[in-house]
Structure 1
Amino acid sequence: SSSSSSPSATQTGPAVVQTYGNWESQGCWSDTPAARSLTFVGNTGGANTPQKCMDVCYAAGYNYAGVEYSVECYCGTTVSNGGTLKTDGCSMLCQGDKLAYCGGPDRLNMYKYNGVVPPPTTAVNGGGNAASANGVTPLTTGLPNGWAYKGCWVDGAYGRILPAAGNPVGLNTPLSCIASCASLGYAISGVEYGAECYCSNTLNNAAAIATDADCKMACTGDAQHACGAANRISLYSTLDTMPVYQKPTALTTGLPGKYKYLGCYQQPPGGKSTFPYQFKDLQTMSVQSCLQKCSQYGYGSAALELGTECSCGDPADVTKNSPGPAPAADCSVPCRGSPTDLCGGVSKISLYSWDMNETPLYVWNTPANKGHYELLIGGITIPLIATLGLNNKVTFTEKAGTGAPNSTGAYELDYSLANDYTKAWREMHVASDIFCSASLVLPDRKGRILNIGGWSGAATEGIRIYTPSGSPGINGTTDWQENWDKVHLQKGRWYPGAMQMANGSVLVMGGEDGSNGKPIASFEVLPKVPGGPTYLEMDWLLRTDPNNLYPFSFVLPGAGILVIYYNEARILNEVTFETTKMLPIIPGSVNAVGGRTYPMEGTAMILPQSDPYTDPLEVIVCGGSAFGQAFDNCVSIQPEVDNADWVIERMPSKRVMTIMTALPDGTYLIMGGAQEGVAGFGLGRKPNLQALLYDPSLPRHQRFSILGETTVARLYHSEAILLHDGRVLVTGSDPEDNGQNPQEYRMEVYVPPYLASGLVQPTYTIANRDWTYGGTYRITVNLAQGPISAMRVTLMGAVSSTHGNSFGQRTIFPKFTCTGNVCDIIAPPDAHVCPPGWFQLFVMDGPTPSYSQWVRIGNDPGQLGNWPNSPGFTLPGVGGL
């Protein structure tokens, strides 16, 4: 024997054998049947262990040994065929020792002998199983129903003819291998070299039949019957005729889109990948499916490896990471799902690239007029929620303990006085901690701001209301009102969602019962109906907790409610809240679905609606994360369309904790967030400082424009809202990341391109600001540029911004007609096209917006103006303005 095993401490679980005499573990290495890393087969006589394999290789004169796929042993004098060290995949337990690892599919636990190996004393394969000498025959009777013996076949001439490894229970026999392959969905089963089991639905690599006499090794679990031999495999199948595919070649024609084959390329050393995104398909991987998936996510480079692996990225990744081309022969592994095509090799990739010159996969616009960031004012708060009130001031609420020790938790900014710090800010007060709450602007006569939920204890049940007062340049006098003893939620909610319903009520959904507490997987409606509990439990919120917090929700024109949570979306009946339609799973990235709501936090918006409102409503979700890998795409869907599916559009950069604002010209400003991580304190990395513009009027995959940059990181607890002058206010950031990025008091504005052009903003006057559905309302406009034929009118829903949500967001282009400069606007037709609420009315002179004025549409059908009728609350009442 080459060595003896030394005693070891009692093991409590499986482990890698590290040393055995002079043998030492070299780690987990890649391997493939088409090109073995250790080229000689060792025969351990069944019940394989690392020690048995090392003994066999030592006796045969080899200084390298490797165990693979539980039952296989290989030997060599060097590592061949580009075998590389891997970080994973050696996870199968040894057939003869369930406390030791013996490689895995296409993975070797490799060992090296430190010293001089004497000349061989036995053949490397041990002369075959002892039973071979006595003559063995194929098993032809007693087979499972439908299975039949198909003969002895040559294996390995050009690579494995059955690519998938089986996992039989116990020692290998034809019956145990058939059972394993059948359970995996395969119609062909093959036993080889006594101990090996393989599966497939096709015969690959120019499979050729041999004579039964060539399959002369006894099965490790059945000494009377043949289980192939070295490079011979005994086949069984349910198929009358087994499909045979010839030796594969590189696929160069009939490729999806504008992909072209570039050749065989090397992967980087050390088990790394050329491209950042990978996925495996052990059953149906093909060149076509790999290229289609890469192009779906907007990646111009696609690569295949080892027959089952696809990776996606950009041409720059090849330049940066790959050592360069490899010999064509190194890419010799057939694709698992298309066996006549090559799909790379061991640490070698079959590389394809999209011809961007002929037909671009995407276009990222770089306009000369990008707009720009400006510092507006220094702050006295680190906001959690930002809301533009009817007084055209911004009210902020703040997490307790975040800002200065004497912070009151709420402040109001009069941005018309931004040049006078002492007058711009007004101190306000909240009675409980609003951390992780949600806000809405109510449709009552005063446009009160509702805040619900909170941090812990009674605060999670909090209902708080603020009535905006004052006007630009004139101080307000009102403050937040709260009376928990009389008015509170039925369930405490931390990170809830909220939505203005078509009937005028407020829908409150989801959350947890406190910081990282148990899920509150229910809906409740405000005002609460008198009597006992009225909340409704939702099993899908329970199932997806904690990845569904701050869910996105929207009223649909067809009278349903769309809810987007984690990576799912569904339409609910607006009366019973029962699910009426499930939408497809929301895609994330090539290799992970991930999520779009907190803590994977992206942001969602309704795309513009236009008279006559016959086009299907479309929703877009931008950014998100796969538990740390931030997404570089937006996905959109028309949820009410039959068989609707998500459309993926690649962004120029990755983004989680995205902030996004709808603009009155129908575009969307995307800002802030991180390029790695998830939402939460200290969990986001690499701030994204680049602003983007998304224009849904442009063709798909050409809608993003790269705008200006900021120097201010906007990470966890950042917000963005549209101001009445057309600028976008950008606030907040409370990363708590050990000082890498500061808590942000600075308030910025983004000046969109439509205000950076130097054109004069139009003006208008309006008399009636209380609109009913379908009514006609007159404005008188003054256009600085004209003509009137290029004018548009925009209605922008009142928004509260926090955690990727823009509660109340809607962009509507209503119908209007003009005689001279007098224009009549027709209000939206109903509460499903336009839920009741307050809207900023903008007039667009070509690309340039006016200052907005507030109009109410749909009155107050839920009579929220009379709620809550309890001490401590000032009620505006119901009726006209």
Structure 2
Amino acid sequence: MGSGSSPPWPVQIFMFAVVMLCLIAVVVAQLPGKWEVLVSNAGIASMHTAVTRFNTVVLLDRTDIGPSRKMLPKGHCRYDPGDAVLKRDCYAHSVVLDLQTNEIRPLMILTDTWCSSGQFLLDGTLLQTGGDVDGIKKIRKFEPCEAGGTCNWVELRDVELVNGRWYATNQILQDGSVIIVGGRGANTVEYYPPRKGGAIPFQFLTEVEDNQMDNLYPYVHLLPNGHLFIFANNRAVLYDHQTNKVIRDYPPLDGGPRNYPSAGSSMMLALSGDFSTAVIVVCGGAQYGAFIQRNTDSPAHGSCGRIVATAENPTWEMEDMPFGRIMGDMVMLPTGDALIINGAQAGTQGFELASDPCLYPVLYRPDQPVGLRFMTLNPGTVPRLYHSTANLLPDGRVLIAGSNPHYFYKFKAEFPTELRIEAFSPEYLSADRANLRPGIESIPETVRYGEGFNVLVSVPLPVVGILEVNLGSAPFATHSFSQGQRLVKLTVTPSVPEGRGRYTIKCTAPPNGAVAPPGYYMAFVVNQGVPSVARWIHLVP
């Protein structure tokens, strides 16, 4: 080959491929967001995850999964003659994570929590309901404690669910009680504490049930008018839980079923202003029939529907995500933006039923016009498929856990059981925004509805614009839906300089329990899109 000749075609193709791979690597490295592994072995694959007011995280799997990778304390075992795998089970199926040390403590859970539901009560206790087999009617409580404490699960003996609840949804109401909606073979609602009448038939769930059972894990949102927006299959209703009546049917959502096992997700956007408007978003989902046919290659939907649930004549506004996605988790961030993370681009929900993991998180910016709302973020490296979760942490990161796409724990597979716990840091936590990050110096521990109160903050750089004070709930995340998730942007006055980089913000607490049900919230101060580390605040009547 002469000095002026070109390399042979195979060499040119190879060189071109190398250049393209380098360009792709550079582009990915420049995408916003940062990943880190917090725990290399949590012992269990978390199917259900919730963050407590003590900055600990409760993680739950099912009990009949076989041996986990975390032993219970010596002398503690679960005896279950109906368990086909381990009748004497000395392995943990629930753990608590200390966010300060990233240490794991095993918890004892007695009955099966497979595909159960949960919600924090007004006193900060985690209520956990239903499951499968011996757990299907069980009610459990976890009263959280300081990290290093000995708090554990307690199964109630004096009360149980009226109907078995497998794949149900819980939502705390304005009076602090909890409604439990649906479940496989349970087209009813009931309440905790129990109400007279027990389980009440809910005809809507019967109407939308199909061969795929797409009425499971219905999307339930408490609207600021006190009614419930309940979505199942591709339909939604406005439900008056006080009279147990449907008072409105919403238009069907295009694109087929979205609930389990079709594996879409849903959230209510941040409440603000006079709190009279509530907007619901439903995104993603499997092709209809993929679950029945066990089709792992069927492309996922990329469509999202958005509806003003409180409008006089509501209609769905449609848009498309950058990726088709099933089993994606939608996490409301302290800013009012949302993170869509986890899941796959093909298949459906269930064991061994998904392929092509969607490693790219997406930021959803609701205040932008259609076509500009989605931003693709830095991809992870760990596939998060069936039974994975995502939860907002008080420091603004998002905790990612779970993924067990197999009937039992299986570590030699294309998509192995995942015991690692990760954290994703949105762009607002990047080093170049550190000078904007506020710190909360003081805030009341308890506030009452409608009460005015002050928040003292410090900010490295002079404040430009309004400092927001936003309350984020601690939801129960499972199966691509965060039960009880909401963000409330408080009414505030412009911050008052106090000298030395300190500012006082005058705030008004939410007006009532329909806007923000009673309980513990993460209170964030947000400066130019950058949130503080949250302080927990107790909102009471």
TM-score clears 0.5: yes
| Residue of structure 2 in register with 1:305 after alignment | none
Letter in 2 for 1:520: A
- Spell out, residue by residue over 1:159-208, the C-alpha distance to the aligned partner (whole angstroms, 9 max, x if none): xxxxxxxxxxxxxxxxxxxxxxxxxxxxxxxxxxxxxxxxxxxxxxxxxx
Q: Is 1:586 equivalent to 2:263 in the alignment?
A: no
Distance (Å, rounded) in 1 between the aligned partners of 2:532 and 2:431: 14
Q: Which amino acid aligns with 1:755?
A: L
| Counterpart Cα distance in 1 of 2:280 and 2:258 | 13
Percent identity at matched positions?
30
Aligned-residue offset at 1:765: 2.8
> Could you say if the C-alpha distance between residues 724 and 390 of structure 1 is closer, same or farther in structure 2, counting changes exceeding 3 Å?
same
Q: Distance in 1 between matches of 2:200 and 2:515?
A: 26
2:48 corresponds to? 385
Aligned to 2:516: 834
Contact 2:44 2:92 in 1 (8 A): no
| Residue of structure 2 equivalent to 1:729 | 399
Q: CA deviation at 1:733?
A: 0.3
- Is 1:717 paired with 2:387? yes
Which amino acid in structure 1 is aligned with residue 199 of structure 2? Y
SS in 2 for 1:709: coil
Does the Cα contact within 8 Å between 2:361 and 2:378 map onto a contact in 1?
yes
Query: Quick check: 1:372–1:707 contact (8 Å CA) kept in 2?
Result: no
Q: Deviations over 1:497-522 (max 9, x none)?
A: 1111112211011102xxxxxx1110
Shift of 1:401: 3.6
- The amino acid that maps onto 2:507 is I
Q: 1:620 aligns with which of 268, 281, 285?
A: 281
**Aligned: 1:800 with 2:476:** yes
CA distance in structure 2 between the aligned counterparts of 1:664 and 1:366, rounded to whole angstroms: 25
- The alpha-carbon distance between structure 1 residues 367 and 809, as it changes in their structure 2 partners (threshold 3 A), is farther
- What does the per-residue CA deviation read over 1:519-569, in whole Å, with 9 as the maximum and x for residues that have no partner? 111011111136xx5211122212333111111111112232110111110
The residue correspondences of 1:242-641 to structure 2 (distance < 5 A) are 368=30, 370-378=32-40, 379-402=42-65, 403-404=68-69, 406-418=90-102, 424-444=103-123, 447-456=124-133, 458-471=134-147, 475-484=148-157, 486-512=158-184, 519-529=185-195, 533-545=197-209, 546-588=213-255, 593=256, 595-614=257-276, 616-627=277-288, 628=290, 629-641=299-311
CA contact (8 A) 1:731 1:746 kept: yes
After superposition, give the CA deviation of every residue in 1:278-329 in whole Å (9 maximum; x if it has no partner). xxxxxxxxxxxxxxxxxxxxxxxxxxxxxxxxxxxxxxxxxxxxxxxxxxxx
Please name the residue that 2:342 is paired with. Answer: 672
Residues of 2 paired with 1:611 and 1:645: CA distance?
22
Matched-pair contact (CA < 8 Å) for 2:182–2:216: yes
Aligned: 1:754 with 2:428: yes
Amino acid at match of 2:46: P
Q: Deviations over 1:823-859 (max 9, x none)?
A: 2210111222222222110011222211111112234
Q: CA deviation at 1:369?
A: 5.3
Q: Give the total of aligned pairs.
A: 469
Amino acid at match of 1:483: L
- After superposition, residues 82-231 of structure 1 pair within 5 angstroms as none
Name 1:742's counterpart in structure 2: 416
Distance in 2 between the 1:858 and 1:574 partners?
Answer: 21
Matched letter for residue 470 of structure 1: E
Structure 2 SS opposite 1:708: coil
TM-score by length of 2: 0.84
1:431 is displaced (CA, Å) by 1.3
Matched, 1:791 2:467: yes
Structure 1 residue 631, shift from structure 2 partner: 0.8
User: Is the alpha carbon distance of 1:492 and 1:521 closer, same or farther for their aligned partners in structure 2, counting shifts above 3 Å?
Assistant: same
**Matched residue SS, 2:375:** strand
SS at match of 1:425: strand
Residue equivalent to 2:80:
none
Determine the C-alpha separation between the residues in 2 that align with 1:401 and 1:583. 39
**Mapped partners of 1:506, 1:443: distance in 2:** 10
Q: TM-score, normalised by structure 1?
A: 0.52
Distance 2:374 2:328 in 1: 15
**Counterpart contact for 1:657–1:804, Cα < 8 Å:** yes
The residue identity in structure 1 corresponding to 2:309 is P
Cα distance in 2 for residues equivalent to 1:499 and 1:648: 26
Q: Which has the larger radius of gyration?
A: 1
In 2, Cα distance between the equivalents of 1:559 and 1:506? 13
In structure 2, what residue type is equivalent to 1:542? Answer: T
Write the distance in 1 (CA, Å) between the matches of 2:365 and 2:303: 14
SS in 1 for 2:361: strand
- Name the structure, 1 or 2, with higher relative contact order (CA <8 Å, separation 6+): 2
Are residue 766 (structure 1) and residue 442 (structure 2) matched?
A: yes
Aligned to 2:525: 843
Q: CA deviation at 1:642?
A: 2.1
Alignment-mate amino acid for residue 505 of structure 1? S
SS at structure 2 position matched to 1:758: helix
For 2:318 and 2:173, the matched residues in 1 are separated by 29
Return the offset for 1:788: 5.5
Could you say if the C-alpha distance between residues 541 and 585 of structure 1 is closer, same or farther in structure 2, counting changes exceeding 3 Å?
same
The CA distance in 2 between the partners of 1:830 and 1:369, in whole Å, is 40
Partner of 1:754, secondary structure, is helix
The one-letter amino acid paired with 1:455 is D
Counterpart residue number, 2:14: none
Residues 367 and 443 of structure 1: CA distance in aligned 2, closer, same or farther (over 3 Å): farther
Q: 1:632 offset after TM fit, Å?
A: 0.6
Structure 2 unmatched runs, 5+? 1-26, 70-88, 291-298, 498-502
Residue 611 of structure 1, CA deviation: 2.4
Distance 1:529 1:625, change over 3 A: same
Q: Which residue of 1 aligns with 2:9?
A: none
Report what 1:816 is aligned to: 492
2:320 alignment partner in structure 1 = 650
Q: Shift in Å at residue 639 of structure 1?
A: 1.5
Q: Does the residue aligned with 2:161 lie in a helix, a strand or coil?
A: coil
1:632 match: secondary structure: strand
Cα distance per residue 1:388-419 (max 9 Å; x no partner): 0011010111112433374221100012113x
Question: In 2, distance between residues paired with 1:663 and 1:381?
Answer: 26
| Contact 2:208–2:235 (Cα < 8 Å) also in 1 | no
Q: CA RMSD in A?
A: 1.8
Tell me how far apart the structure 2 counterparts of residues 797 and 786 of structure 1 sit (CA, whole Å).
Answer: 29
Q: How far apart, in 2, do the equivalents of 1:854 and 1:808 lie?
A: 17
The answer to whether the 8 A contact 1:793-1:844 is kept is yes
> 1:565·1:597 contact (CA, 8 Å) conserved in 2?
yes
Name the SS of the counterpart of 1:696 in structure 2.
coil
CA contact (8 A) 2:129 2:140 kept: yes
Q: Structure 1 pair 584/696, CA: closer, same or farther in 2 (3 Å)?
A: same
The runs of at least 4 consecutive aligned structure 1 residues that moved more than 3 Å come to: 365-369
Give secondary structure in 1 for the equivalent of 2:207: helix
Picking from 699, 702, 707, the partner of 2:377 is 707
Contact 2:49 2:57 in 1 (8 A): yes
Q: Which residue of 2 aligns with 1:778?
A: 454
| 1:699-754: CA deviation from partner (whole Å, max 9, x where unpaired) | 12210001011111111000000111110001100112882201000111101000
